Amino acid sequence: MSKPIYILNGPNLNLLGLRQPEIYGRETLDDVAAACAALAKALGLAIRFHQSNHEGQLVDWVHEARGQGAGIIINPAAYTHTSVAILDALQAFDGPVLEVHISNVHKREVFRHHSYVSLRADGVIAGFGTEGYLLALRRMKSLITA
């Protein structure tokens, strides 16, 4: 089996589907994980799907992906807009990195318009709802088989 794709989710995304459905929809993070697992299987990819509310844990998973992962799909949530630590960790990862946002951050508050992670990301998906994770997986398949 080839190396897995790490799908990493940042703070408060454990609340997905439970609050603010007008912004983030009604699917829970477990629903997203299940949809990613089903698509990954169809694409012949292995995945590691994780969520944490802690910046250091996300950094540790990015480090784990060095050597063990073929690519990283990351929704850093609020850390998108603040975390040089996650950016630095991603810059030490050699494979493709795709950044996903459920909402269209550019239609929201100005502080959400800047992303540290975008300085490293090979592609960014925003505003496609939770379908963005599936689009990112399809793009990841193309990138790692190119």
Beta strand residue intervals within 30-121, DSSP E:
47-51, 71-75, 97-101
Task: Tell me, yes or no, if 63 is annotated catalytic.
Answer: no
| Residue 19 within binding range of ligand CA2, rule CB under 6 A | yes
- The H or E element containing residue 126 is strand 123-126
Give the nearest distance from C-beta 98 to ligand CA2 in angstroms: 13
Task: Tell me, yes or no, if 101 is annotated catalytic.
Answer: yes
Give the nearest distance from C-beta 99 to ligand CA2 in angstroms: 9
Q: Which of 24, 79, 116, 133 is catalytic?
A: 24
Closest Cα to residue 131, out of 49, 53, 7, 32? 32
Residues 69-128 that bind ligand CA2 (CB under 6 A): 75, 77-78, 80, 101-103, 105, 112
Contacts to ligand CA2 by CB under 6 A: 12-13, 15-16, 19-20, 24, 75, 77-78, 80, 101-103, 105, 112
Annotated catalytic residues are 24, 101
